[in-house]
A and B are shown apart, each in its own frame.
Chain A
Amino acid sequence: MKPLPVSAFTVTSALGAGRDAHWRALSTGTTGLRKVQFDTNTLDCWLGEVADFDEPLPEQWSDWDCRNNRLALFGLQQDGFLDAVAKLRARYGGDRIGVFIGTSTSGVHQTELAYRARDPESGRLPDWFKHRYTQNIFSIADFVARLLELSGPTIAISTACSSSAKVFASAWRAIRVGACDAALVGGVDSLCLTTLYGFNSLQLVSTDICRPADVARTGISIGEAAGFALLDPNADAPMALLGYGETSDAYHMSSPDPEGQGAAAAMQAALACANVQAAEVDYINLHGTGTMANDSAESRAVCTVFGTQTPCSSTKGWTGHTLGAAGIVEAAISMLCIEHGFMPRSLNTRTKDPNIASAVLLEDRHAPVRKVMSNSFGFGGSNCTLLFGARA
């Protein structure tokens, strides 16, 4: 494919609001993970909670008020992103800009709150609970599109933890076939008890901090995040999406194929799509959740495609696993790596698992970075790999 310019991007996670906060945390090795109290959580675990955003939405958006849409609004307010959207709208018209947002749980936290407030007699949910505008998966995409007055093709993609990587592929296709001229892509997932207790039921939530690729890793730390990017084929931007690869494992609903075949195929597809050789990739931002199964399988896949020399690391030791937002968070981090000539170490990794043969970075590296691959894998065997690069 022809490189698709990324004319603006922003990211908000436990590392802070906006790109500068992320660069500061990455360059100083400062994790955003904390042992904090969220809602009524009783699990002993680390969380990647976003600070200072949980204000109710403005009055006109009160139907849409929930943690996920609040986080979306807070994320959109960083890095001058709203101005960039306004410029894009002026250029193409709102009806020619598509909106593609990834989420795994949208506003289900609001449903959790509503179930606590069921009428004890009738069992009815409270009047304030608006399913369509909060819980429904589409809510997040609909909210962003309406807020920003964009009315091109609008969808929420929900493929678990690959959701907001896949938005780049869908947006590229929509532009390619003329369904829209430019696109806003993004991902928003917010903390909720459903994912905390759900992942805990699968014994995937660690009581320890997330330690990707560590020999003694014991699972994920759950985080939340909102990130957005503008894709404008006519922009003169320093950064571009070079390629994408999407595959399915066809193996198991909640475990990766231990051989990593689907993951390797996604990386190969992204390289082929971009017409880039494996040797040209400077750094790989891994999915790297910190579970035994994921990190081993992903390492096998990386070695299949790249051998054992390409520097790679997971940044989930910084942000936690932001689930449906992980794709956009790590896309943003990938672009920050290119911008700053920086490859982050695998934070919290003490002793690398000897069974992991890929070149996981245990120290930060400062060197020119021109092409970065970013992996995102999800339940259901959903794999998506993105390739970003500095434009020549």
Chain B
Amino acid sequence: MSASEQVWVEAVGITAPGLANWEAARAILRGESPYAAADMPLPAPQLLPPNERRRATPTVRVAFQAAEDAMRATELAPSALATVFASSDADLNIIHRISSALTQTPRLVSPTDFHNSVHNAAAGYWSIAVGARAPSTTLSAYDFSFAAGLEEAFALVLADGFDTLLVAFDLPPPQPLYEKRPIACSAGVGVILTRERRSASLAALRCAQVRESDTPLSNPELEKLRRANPALAALPLFELLALGRSGRIVLPRGSDAGLAVVVETLS
């Protein structure tokens, strides 16, 4: 299958246990610092207005942290970017609270919980926080949500000409849902893609759907992390970007499908 036209990676961001931000993750993925699993503190994103920050759910905070980390490395204005938010399950804490409330008499569903329960809550808060009026898609593809989001972001860049911020995120659900959907840790990643090469560009990317299994990481601890959260399927791509190395990796895109991503770094 022919690969897509190329897009440019402007910047990436991350928040995950032991990978506090891209700067730290880059050193670890380059093998310059050891990886040490650590509990992830609840992020305190800067871009949320104070009254929204107070009410923001952990899910929105994780998504913002990843997005803000990516924005740190670019001069592009966040208000100018189209967005893709990709999450398998968005906010299962809220689903748990609402589903529990619905078993009680009377059935008292919190209005704040309900409006935060939509899959696109993080996208809505982001748009409000940065004043972004450009197109925004929120999608799910279960464990394959990062690659699905990357495909959608590619299409927004190539077909509609928008520089695009992709944010992928998921959080562990509370029990009893955790037993059914054991997302082991909170994590978010951000990727900014542009149509044109810019001074900050890290690499050019092309992608194509393939029938191949996904590329693992060689470090066993990082490989475990890659499988712990759908957003961390991004790690093999981030590893190539950290190493400044061209290559081809396959991201999980379906039960028997992968998304091949060809990375060409800049000399």
Contacts and interface: CB of A to CB of B under 8 A. Distances in A.
Interface string B169-181: 0000001110111
B15 interface: no
B114 to A, nearest CB: 3
B99 A380 contact: no
**Which of A112, A173, A246: most chain B Cβ within 10 A?**
A173
16 contacts: A112-B99, A115-B103, A132-B181, A136-B181, A137-B88, A138-B145, A142-B142, A151-B256, A155-B141, A157-B139, A158-B140, A160-B118, A173-B156, A199-B114, A378-B118, A382-B120
Given A177-B159, A202-B111, A157 B137 contact: yes
B95 interface: yes
B39 to A, nearest CB: 25
Interface residues of A, number: 68
A136 B89 contact: yes
B134 interface: yes
Contacts, number: 209
Nearest to B129: A250
Interface stretch (A70-78, A225-233, A251-259, A308-316): A251-259
B102 A156 contact: no
B128 A125 contact: no
Given A172-B159, A194-B99, A137 B107 contact: no
The 9 A-B pairs at the shortest CB distance, nearest first, are namely: A380-B124, A158-B119, A198-B114, A173-B155, A246-B135, A137-B140, A173-B159, A248-B127, A131-B180
Contacts of A58: none
Interface in B243-267: 253-254, 256-257
Nearest to B87: A137
Nearest to A129: B180
A166 B139 CA distance: 11
Contact of A177 (B89, B107, B155): B155
B99 A159 contact: no
A249 to B, nearest CB: 7
Interface string B159-187: 11000000000000001110111000000
Interface in A237-282: 246-254, 261-262, 265
B109 A151 contact: no
B88 A138 contact: yes
Interface in B123-151: 123-125, 127-128, 130-142, 145, 148, 151
**Which of A179, A246, A378: most chain B Cβ within 10 A?**
A179
Interface of B: 2, 4-5, 88-90, 95, 98-103, 107-111, 113-121, 123-125, 127-128, 130-142, 145, 148, 151-152, 154-156, 158-160, 175-177, 179-181, 209, 253-254, 256-257
Nearest to B101: A197
A251 to B, nearest CB: 7
Given A123-B176, A124-B179, A179-B209, A248 B135 contact: yes
Contacts of B160: 173
Given A247-B133, A253-B115, A380 B181 contact: no
A130 B154 CA distance: 32
Contacts of A156: 139-141
A81 interface: no
B98 A194 contact: yes
